[in-house]
Amino acid sequence: MLTVALPKGRIAEDTLAIFETIFGDTFVFDDRKLILETADFKFLLVRNQDVATYVYHQAADIGVVGLDTIEEQGLDVIRLLDLQRGRCKVAIGMRKGEKLDLSKPEIKVATKMVNISKRYFAERAVAADIIKLYGSIELAPLVGLSDVIVDIVETGTTMRQNGLEVVEEIMESTTYLIANKNSFFEKKGEVLDIYEKINRVISAK
């Protein structure tokens, strides 16, 4: 039995669809239920930011989560497989026409991704005042809360609609299959089996 942590929303649906393809069965959570048990799997429905936490503490053996979130949280989990879905970028955005000047004495950065931001500016020896927000990041430069934002860009629509543009890309992200380190050894056969089956489905597309 493998416990699988899935982030609520599209990624969970996509991943369950992959399992349905593999096993020719239906995998659907009952209304409001957070656990779905099948013969071989226990699926957990968690918040996106909590997937790696469940896996790191071995409350789940494996999980599915974006590379951006893995990098931001820095939890020690095994990155088993790039699922080549949910492609997006973590990027620096500014008001249209403005230029990123790394020689400024201090840059005010609004972001959900505090650690990725800190690392980026520290590596360039730039003093950054990092302001943690929980959403609607694009608003910050429009009202003078920050000079720049570090945020997820998928289609680019949110930035464009708010008069912002990408001035620098920090990283590319896709969804990954991750595993707990102990589970990987204790349940190696099961983990590698599902890894191979998922890999076959995503490679076939």
Write out the residues near ligand PRP by the rule CB under 6 A: 135-138, 151-158
- Closer residue to ligand PRP (CB): 152 or 171: 152
Q: What is residue 78's three-state secondary structure?
A: strand
* Nearest approach, Cβ of residue 49 and ligand PRP (Å): 11
Identify which of residues 45 and 156 has a Cβ nearer to ligand PRP in the complex: 156
For 114-171, the DSSP string reads HHHHHHHHHHTT--EEEEE-SS-GGGGGGGTS-SEEEEEESSSHHHHHTTEEEEEEEE
Which pair of structure tokens corresponds to residue 139?
A: 């608003």
Shortest Cβ 156–ligand PRP spacing (Å):
5
Q: Which is nearer to ligand PRP, 103 or 157 (CB)?
A: 157
68 closest CA partner among 80, 86, 56: 86
The minimum distance between CB 134 and ligand PRP, in angstroms, equals: 7
Q: Max Cα separation, the chain?
A: 59
Q: Which is nearer to ligand PRP, 42 or 108 (CB)?
A: 108
Shortest distance (Å) from residue 9 CB to ligand PRP: 10
Question: 83 by DSSP, 3-state: which?
Answer: coil
